Structures are given as C-alpha cells and as structure tokens.
Structure 1
Amino acid sequence: MERDSIRENPSPENSSMPGGPSSAALGQAFSQLLHRFTRQETHSGQGRDAIFQDLGALIEATEYDRLFEGNDTSVRGMSELLGEVAKALGRYSTPPKEEGGRGDGYSGVAEKATEVGLLFLKLLGKVETAKNSLVYPAWKTGLHHLAGPIYIFAVTHSVEQPWTSPRSQHVAGKVLSLLLQVSDCGSVAGFLHGENEDDKGRFGVIMGLLKPNLNKELWKNNPATKHVFSWTLLQVTRPWLNQYLERILPPSLLISDDYQTENKILGICCLHHIVLNVPAADLLQYNRAEVLYHAIFNHLYTPEHQLIQAVLLCLLDLFPILEKTLQWKGDTARPTTHCDEVLQLILTHMEPEHRLLLRRSYARNLPAFVKRLGILTVRHLKRLERVIIGYLEVYDGPEEEARLKILETLKLLIQHCWPRVSCRLVVLLKALLKLVCDVARDPNLTPEPVKTTLLQEATDCLILLDHCSQGRVKGLLARIPQSCQEGKVVNCIRKVQQASGGAHSDGT
C-alpha cells in the first residue's frame, strides 16, 4: 500500500492546477522518487523498472517552465533537487568494486547506464527547450546543478571499458554531445575551462564532485573514478590548469603510488600533464617539484618497460623546472643535477639488462639525456662506453630500435664530448666495425630498409670519430677495402674516407 501511494503522488496529472503541478507538488514528486531510489527496492528488477518509468513519465509530462519556474529561491531549490536526482542516477549506474580481477561483477552495469542515459537525454532536452524559449533564463540555474553529475556519467560510460557495452557507449556519447550543445561549448575542453573570460568553466565543479572518492580509502571502490579524473585532467591545459593545482596534484600522486602497474602508469601520465601545463613557479612553490621528482624517481626501480618509458619522459620534462634554482659560478665545479642522478641509475640498470623490451625503453630515452647534459655527459663516460658497446653487440629484433638509438646516442656523445672520446677510439672503432660486419652478413633477419639505416648511422659515427681523432680512423681503415670481400662493408668504409678528406684538421 505504501508503495502504491508513493507512486500515485509523483504523477503530474494529480495536481489540481491547470497546466500541470505546482512547484511544491512537482518538488514533492521528485523528492519521493529520489527517496525510492535510495531504498532497497531499486535492487529488484521490478522496483527499478517502476522507478524509471515513473521518473521518465514525470520528466516528459512536465513542461520546461514548470521545471524552472518561480522566484530565485524556488528555482534554486528545484534545480538543486534535480541535481540530487542526477547524482542519484549517476551513483546507480556506477560500476561496483571488482574483487579479484575482471569477472562477472560488472554484469548489468551497461544496462543500468543505458536506462540512466535515456533519462538524462530527456532532462537535457527540457533544458534545451527552456534555453531556446528566450524568456526563461532560469534554465542556467538548472544546468549548473545538472552539468557536473551528467558529465561524470557520460565520461564513465562513453568509451570502451569492462563495464560498458556498445549500446551504453552510444547513449552516453549522445548525452555528452547534448550536454555540450546546451552549454554552448564546442569541445569538452571548453566545457571544462570555459570558452570566454566570463565563463569560469566546470572543471572545479567536476573535481569537487570527484574529491570525496579520490582519497586513499575510497578511490578503488569505484573503478571509474580514476578514469574520469585522468581523462578530465588531460583535457585542461595552460593557462587554466594551475589554479586547480591543489585539487589535482594529490590524487595524481595517490594513483601513481599504487601497487598495480596500470595505475602507476596512469598516475605518471597525470603528473606529466601537470608538469607540462603548470608554470614552473607554481611547481617550485612549497617544494612541489621536489616532491614530484622523488615520487617519480622511485618508479625507476620497477622493471616494467611501459612504466619506465612513462617515468623517463616525465622526468625529462621535469629537469628544466628543477634546475631553474641551480646557479653555477665559474670558479667552482658545476653541481651535479637530478639529470645526473637519473642517468647514473639507468646506466646501472642498462648494463646487465637482458630483457629486450626494457632495453628498448632505456635506449629510446638515452639520447635525450645526452642532449640535456651536453658536455657534462663526461661524468658518465666510462659507464656509457660499456653500455654502448654492449648494446651494439646484441641483435634487437627486426626493427633494431635499441641499436639505432644507441648509435644516435654515440653520435651525440662524440659531438658533445669529443676531446674525451678520442682516447677511446680503438674500442669504439672495433664495436662499430663489428656492427657493420654483422649487419652486412645478416642473411634475412633484418629488413633491408632497417639494414640501410643501421649502416648509415654507423657510417656517420665513424665519420665523427675520424673528425675528433684528427684523421686516425681514416688511416686505420685504409687497408680494409683491399682485403674485404663484403660490398656493404667496403661501401661504408669508402664513405668514411671520402667524407673525412680535408675535414679532420679542425677537430670536429
């Protein structure tokens, strides 16, 4: 009986007022539906269907001027109530915490999301009608309370996830498109940071809604929380991001500090975005940059190639910020930097590393470190020499990414540190000649374009070695064409001899 009486009240036709229910009656109807949503009956299929049917009917039967009518106080109250309904619908469609990996825990979430999305489309349709009426500015108040919960719902379900289906993704995508349309925004970024000076955007509102679930105890209870946070964060760039730094930095650090590699990488990507889009002065304030550095640096001890790649890219963009505070006086030795510390560690890891994916991740970023340090790379020359020789000896698969990056590193090393490289001429020359011979004799493992690139890069290194050794390479290679039968090797040596002629007297 109680259930029947509750279901009778929300219906707009029960109002005695012509044209629909009064604001009070309409508010009571939404309040009762909201109350039913929090009751246990929503867990049963029949109860859930009844609530959605009643809510959909109430929205459809209510004219837009009834949803946004009255004085400022009543409009605000009705809008807040609609916002609470939107939040309840969003919570209802969130995926549950998944215990022990991805299994059947997400079954039914996509169906719920589809039902919720259809209701949101009806609500946004009413907002759009009110907006187009030209006489009802109160729709802005309603949209203010609806936009945040609806946005979170749409981002949660609009891309492929374990809890979504093609149908739920389609509906959520339509919800997001309509939300941008009624907000007069041409993009998600404009919706978040505002598209003009008078529009503050809704990024702060979204972060405020996410904040209660972005703490150490709760952030894993809803698997969509990290996705919505990270995706939203990446949409906002300079110059808007720095004003929200206190809201976005702690959750990013929290996610990066997780034990799961997937979450570590996600957190590092968020931190990298912050480094790229927040002014250096803001990151240096309160020692934030140092906190970032130590949090990211600790991940270098994890042998996961994807994580290492994300960490090194982030650190390379963080170094210029950290080193803004370093001042060098010409009468003292240059201070060691964070870049020195990181390069020393990765060279220590590179030397004995045998896993190809990790070797590629390290080698891929090594040239950037040499460029960053320049002449100061001499501090690491001995270990770099061992790494370069060791990596040039090992076949790296058809694409030869690691060996190509090591050759690029060697070229930069010779260019920046040539006075100290000439004394290592014989060791480096042997390693390069061995590489050239191995590539030339490789019958079929490496594609011809890759072989050509390898031989060209090795030839460039030999030419640079010859320049910095004042023509010694040319002399050491002079007799090889007379005894070598391999055409590719001979061709490589001839290029060195021709390019070196008359150029070595100036050093580099």
Structure 2
Amino acid sequence: MEPGGARASAPQAGSCGPGGRPSALGQAFSRVLSRLSGQESRRGPAGSAALRDLGALLDATEWERLCDGGGAAAGGGPALLGAVAEALRSHAAPAAEPDGRGDESPAVAERAAAVGLLLMKLLRKAEAAKPSWALPAWRTALRPLAGPVYLFAATHRLEQPWTGPSSREAAGEVLASLLRVTECGSVAGFLRGESEDEPGSFPVILGLLQPDLDKESWKNNPATKHVFSWTLQQVTRPWLNQHLEKILPPSLLISDDYQTENKVLGVQCLHHIVLNVPAADLLQYNRAQVLYHALFNHLYLPEHGLIQAVLLCLLDLFPVLEKALQWQGGAARPTTHCEEVLQLVLTHMEPEHRILLRRTYARNLPAFVKRLGILTVRHMKRLERVILGYLEVYDGPEEEARLKILETLKLLMQYTWPRISCRLVVLLKALLKLICDVARDPNLTPEPVKNALLEEATGCLLVLDHCSQGQVQGLLARVLQSCEDKKVVDCLRKVQLSEGAPLQRDVGSVSLS
C-alpha cells in the first residue's frame, strides 16, 4: 500500500463532497472534537461520551485514512492527527483554581487516564503502519501528533495536585510509547534530535507552549510552568543557545511571580540557561546584566529555598559577568558583582536568627571566599563578625551552619594569611571555646557530628598556627597543662605535633575570572 492510501471499500477521509464540503469521516471527527472541546465535556458524562465516540472512530479508521485528513474542516492531511491529539491534551489539562494551584479534583486524573488510552491507540496505529511507509513521509505524518502527545505525558507524569496513580501510569506509558515510535533513546534525544540531520521536537514543543507562556495566560494552566521547566532542563549545550530568545522571557516571567514556589522554579530555569548557554550569547544585548539584577532582587526575600537557588545561580553567573574585567594594576581593583552579593549576604547574616536561613547562608559562604580569593581581604571585618557570631550558636543535631562556617574560616585564613596574625587572640579564643563546648556536650549532638566539628576546628587551629608562625603552639602549651578533658587534649596535641597547614601564598595569580 502506498503511503497515504486507503481501502477502496470506504470513502476517502480527505476527499470532499460536492461543492468542496468535507467527507463524512471528516465531518464525524469535527463533530466529536467540537463536543470534546466544550466546557460541559470537562464535567459530567458528556466528556466520557465524546471520548467513547472518538475511540470508536479511531478503531474504525486506519492510519492511512487518518493521515489523509478529514477534509477542509480539519485542515487536511496529517493536521487531523494533530487536531485529535491537541483536543485530547486540552481535555485532560487541569483548570486553574482561584489560588493558581490547579484543579485537584480526581476527575482530572480520571480524564487523563482515559485520554492516555486513546493516545496509546493512536501511537500503536502509527507503529503498526510504519513498515508500509517511506520513512520521510511517515515522519512528516507523525510530526503533528508528537508534540501534543509529549505535552500530555509531561503534564501528568509526576505527582502533582491534578494527577493520580492511574493518570501517572498512563502518562508514563504514553511517553515510553512515543519514544519507541519516534526511535528516540531518551526525552533529551526526542527534543534535540538523535542525529545532526534530524531536527528535534524542541522548537515544536516551544511553539505549542508559547501561547500559554505570556504574562496574561501562563497561570491559566497550572501545569504549563512545570512542563516548560522540565522540558527546558532536558536540552543542554550546544543545542540550547539557538532557542535563547524563546526560553529566556518565560523563565524571567515565572521567576518574577509573587509566589515563592514559582520564583524558585523560574530561578532553576535561569540557572539551567546560565550553565548551558555560551557566555558570549549571555553577554549579548546585556542579557547577563538583566539576569543579575533579576536574581539580586530575590536576595531581599527571607525564603531559604529561594535564597539557595538564587545563590547557586549567581555563583555560576559571576564568571560570565566578570569575564571582561581585567585588573591593569596601579588603580584599585574594581568592585565585582560577587563582592556586591557577598556584602548583601553578610548584611543579612549578622542579625539572622532563623535556623534554616542561617544554614542556607553558611552553606554558600565558602564558595564566595573561594571565588574572591585574596579579594576577601576587603570584607575581613564583617566576615570576622559573622564567623565569630555563628560559631557561638548551636545549630541543631546536624550542625551544618557551624561546620560550613569553620570551612569558611579555614579558607579565609589561607587566602588572607598576612592579615591573620593581628586577629590571633580573637580567633584562638573562639576556636577553643567551640572545641570545649562540643567536647562537653552531653547528648544534644550525635557523635559523628561532634567528631566532624572537632576535626574542622582542629584544622582551623593548624592554619591559624601557620599564619602566626607557631604562636598558637606556644599559647596552647599552657592550656594543655591545666586541661583535663581527653577530647580537648587530643585536639590540642594534634596542633602541638603538627608543622602547620599550607597557605594560598600565590596571591599574585588570583584574578577576577
């Protein structure tokens, strides 16, 4: 059978009657799709009846006749397949509720499970017909179907308020069947294309999502943001940068929402763009500066999840922003974007009392010190205040904040060792107090965490001793004579028996990049 052929015993699906009217088959599909798209079909038995009728039509129609199209009413050719798939996807989509979170009714999951069965029926027809088609013609016929089918699967594949076990299972089966039919080994391969001469479906997916991703409509379907985010993160370099104009505005739009959940999702999209788009493309048209200011403004919101996402994104954006900065010598080094963010972070850290935010700030502080290197000397006083303040406060059983602060202190001393000797007494007192408090802690902290704290504090003492040219060992000798706590004595003896720790003395090689 030739591609696009049909049985002689049945009227052609794409043929038109007298006066150019669509065929009986085209009219039948048009009526069913019209019923399926009506508002009443989303609730009550009307939708189930329309799905049953559509299923009966699909059972009675071969793939070749579907690819012929349903006449003028359906657009002709493979457009009928796209119209059927799009109508099914829209029928299964969750509706936005007043709070913007989507319809949590089990009816949505039930509709999705039923729609999944019909989409599987279409994909099985496509797979069965493939051997009788020339490959280019078969791919052309499949293309309008693939986009809506993928969007359905992406909408219902994960646990969300609008999904249930049956709809998630149906979505998983539909996605697996789509990849099998299109001969793609993964979702990423489906989106970007499995070979250089085969275009991927990412532009098609973005085109289908585009009407739902503008300022007025992106909240109409609560699944749109999740589908866009997940789809975006499947495409990496070098394929992503050619779509930058279409993916950057929606990512900024989602990140600028008033709901923290949406802000975090948008920032994650921006982070993926920063990681997978070349610096030259981000610097063009001042895009990197736009990203920086959008992210910087989020740092004023006291939401630990958002702060974590923003700081991770900024740390990867700094090399792009500072790529063109070169210190020529003579004049003072320019203030970098990294320094601006560190100043704001330290401002927020000093008075912060909420444990989750303290941990978030402390978790990212070592990366800033590594990034700035010798330039952290500009922020020594504020860093010292923050470090001393955080070392005094118990941080819960995991002691994440104090462990990260100790890591920060060690890095700070290694990079700025010429300025450490004048702070010897203050830092030594803080470290000894911490070691004594942890060693005498009866039950609050688990033993492995205590050991980690003592080990990190001892490492800081070793670096401090090296920075002060052995003064710490002399001061500790008197402490050892009067100390009776075995754990404290063991830590101090490690310092006494050590020759110190290496320092970052190659300060001349530290650059802004």
TM-score range, shorter chain: over 0.9
Given the superposition, is the C-alpha separation of residues 249 and 358 from structure 1 closer, same or farther in structure 2, using an over 3 Å criterion? same
How far is the alpha carbon of 1:503 from its aligned partner?
A: 9.4
SS where residue 397 of structure 1 aligns?
Answer: coil
Provide the C-alpha distance between the structure 1 equivalents of 2:501 and 2:394, rounded to a whole number of angstroms. Answer: 35
Map 1:40-439; keep pairs closer than 5 Å: 42-43=41-42, 45-69=44-68, 77-100=76-99, 106-134=105-133, 138-439=137-438
Matched residue, 1:464: 463
**Structure 1 contact 69–138 (Cα < 8 Å) conserved:** no
SS where residue 199 of structure 2 aligns?
Answer: coil
**Structure 2 contact 96–102 (Cα < 8 Å) conserved:** no
Matched residue, 2:487: 488
Provide the C-alpha distance between the structure 1 equivalents of 2:99 and 2:429, rounded to a whole number of angstroms. Answer: 53
**Structure 1 contact 75–138 (Cα < 8 Å) conserved:** no
Provide the C-alpha distance between the structure 1 equivalents of 2:455 and 2:327, rounded to a whole number of angstroms. Answer: 39
Provide the C-alpha distance between the structure 1 equivalents of 2:278 and 2:465, rounded to a whole number of angstroms. Answer: 44
Of 9, 23, 35, which residue of structure 1 is paired with 2:14? 23
**Structure 1 contact 466–472 (Cα < 8 Å) conserved:** yes
**Structure 1 contact 86–146 (Cα < 8 Å) conserved:** yes
Deviations 1:216-266 (A, max 9, x none): 111111100001000100100011000000000000000000111100100
Provide the C-alpha distance between the structure 2 equivalents of 1:251 and 1:349, rounded to a whole number of angstroms. Answer: 30
Q: Give the partner amino acid of 1:282.
A: D
Given the superposition, is the C-alpha separation of residues 128 and 314 from structure 1 closer, same or farther in structure 2, using an over 3 Å criterion? same
Deviations 1:380-411 (A, max 9, x none): 00000000000000111111111110010011
Higher RCO (Cα < 8 Å, 6 or more apart): 2
SS where residue 454 of structure 2 aligns?
Answer: helix
Given the superposition, is the C-alpha separation of residues 212 and 104 from structure 1 closer, same or farther in structure 2, using an over 3 Å criterion? closer
How far is the alpha carbon of 1:85 from its aligned partner?
A: 1.9
How far is the alpha carbon of 1:98 from its aligned partner?
A: 1.5
Q: Give the partner amino acid of 1:23.
A: G
Please say which of residues 260-269 and 135-144 is displaced more in the overlay: 135-144
Deviations 1:32-67 (A, max 9, x none): 322333345525633323321221111111122222
How far is the alpha carbon of 1:213 from its aligned partner?
A: 0.8
**Structure 1 contact 467–507 (Cα < 8 Å) conserved:** no
How far is the alpha carbon of 1:78 from its aligned partner?
A: 2.5
Provide the C-alpha distance between the structure 2 equivalents of 1:503 and 1:372, rounded to a whole number of angstroms. Answer: 19
Given the superposition, is the C-alpha separation of residues 22 and 420 from structure 1 closer, same or farther in structure 2, using an over 3 Å criterion? closer
Provide the C-alpha distance between the structure 2 equivalents of 1:200 and 1:439, rounded to a whole number of angstroms. Answer: 60
**Structure 1 contact 96–223 (Cα < 8 Å) conserved:** yes
Provide the C-alpha distance between the structure 2 equivalents of 1:269 and 1:507, rounded to a whole number of angstroms. Answer: 35
Q: Which runs of 5+ in 2 are unaligned?
A: 1-5, 16-22, 508-513
Deviations 1:402-439 (A, max 9, x none): 11100100110111000011111110000000000001
Provide the C-alpha distance between the structure 2 equivalents of 1:254 and 1:75, rounded to a whole number of angstroms. Answer: 34
How far is the alpha carbon of 1:199 from its aligned partner?
A: 1.3
Deviations 1:485-506 (A, max 9, x none): 11111111111111038999x9
How far is the alpha carbon of 1:136 from its aligned partner?
A: 7.2
Please say which of residues 106-115 and 390-399 is displaced more in the overlay: 106-115
Provide the C-alpha distance between the structure 1 equivalents of 2:310 and 2:215, rounded to a whole number of angstroms. Answer: 22
How far is the alpha carbon of 1:449 from its aligned partner?
A: 1.2
How far is the alpha carbon of 1:76 from its aligned partner?
A: 8.1
Provide the C-alpha distance between the structure 2 equivalents of 1:308 and 1:136, rounded to a whole number of angstroms. Answer: 50
Provide the C-alpha distance between the structure 2 equivalents of 1:283 and 1:206, rounded to a whole number of angstroms. Answer: 23
How far is the alpha carbon of 1:204 from its aligned partner?
A: 0.7
Q: Give the partner amino acid of 1:238.
A: R
Deviations 1:147-189 (A, max 9, x none): 1111111110111110011001111111111111111100000
How far is the alpha carbon of 1:114 from its aligned partner?
A: 1.2
SS where residue 457 of structure 1 aligns?
Answer: helix
Given the superposition, is the C-alpha separation of residues 240 and 136 from structure 1 closer, same or farther in structure 2, using an over 3 Å criterion? closer
Q: Give the partner amino acid of 1:188.
A: V
SS where residue 396 of structure 2 aligns?
Answer: coil
Provide the C-alpha distance between the structure 2 equivalents of 1:230 and 1:105, rounded to a whole number of angstroms. Answer: 21
SS where residue 411 of structure 2 aligns?
Answer: helix
SS where residue 492 of structure 1 aligns?
Answer: helix
**Structure 1 contact 68–75 (Cα < 8 Å) conserved:** no
Provide the C-alpha distance between the structure 1 equivalents of 2:276 and 2:265, rounded to a whole number of angstroms. Answer: 17
Matched residue, 1:8: none
How far is the alpha carbon of 1:333 from its aligned partner?
A: 1.1
Provide the C-alpha distance between the structure 2 equivalents of 1:222 and 1:492, rounded to a whole number of angstroms. Answer: 59
Deviations 1:66-112 (A, max 9, x none): 22359xx9998231122122111111111011123768653411111
TM-score by length of 2: 0.91
SS where residue 353 of structure 1 aligns?
Answer: coil
Provide the C-alpha distance between the structure 1 equivalents of 2:229 and 2:314, rounded to a whole number of angstroms. Answer: 19
Provide the C-alpha distance between the structure 2 equivalents of 1:437 and 1:36, rounded to a whole number of angstroms. Answer: 75
Please say which of residues 384-393 and 470-479 is displaced more in the overlay: 470-479
SS where residue 479 of structure 1 aligns?
Answer: helix
Map 1:443-454; keep pairs closer than 5 Å: 443-454=442-453
Q: Give the partner amino acid of 2:169.
A: H
Provide the C-alpha distance between the structure 2 equivalents of 1:175 and 1:507, rounded to a whole number of angstroms. Answer: 57
SS where residue 108 of structure 1 aligns?
Answer: helix
Given the superposition, is the C-alpha separation of residues 342 and 501 from structure 1 closer, same or farther in structure 2, using an over 3 Å criterion? closer
Provide the C-alpha distance between the structure 2 equivalents of 1:337 and 1:299, rounded to a whole number of angstroms. Answer: 19
Given the superposition, is the C-alpha separation of residues 96 and 378 from structure 1 closer, same or farther in structure 2, using an over 3 Å criterion? same
Q: Give the partner amino acid of 2:451.
A: T
Deviations 1:179-207 (A, max 9, x none): 11111100000000001001110111101
Given the superposition, is the C-alpha separation of residues 262 and 40 from structure 1 closer, same or farther in structure 2, using an over 3 Å criterion? closer
**Structure 1 contact 69–75 (Cα < 8 Å) conserved:** no
How far is the alpha carbon of 1:22 from its aligned partner?
A: 4.2
How many positions carry a matched residue from both structures? 491
SS where residue 443 of structure 1 aligns?
Answer: coil
**Structure 2 contact 95–103 (Cα < 8 Å) conserved:** no
Percent identity over the alignment is 70
Given the superposition, is the C-alpha separation of residues 361 and 43 from structure 1 closer, same or farther in structure 2, using an over 3 Å criterion? closer
TM-score by length of 1: 0.92
Aligned residues: CA RMSD: 2.4
Provide the C-alpha distance between the structure 2 equivalents of 1:320 and 1:426, rounded to a whole number of angstroms. Answer: 36
Q: Which runs of 5+ in 1 are unaligned?
A: 1-14
Q: Give the partner amino acid of 1:335.
A: P
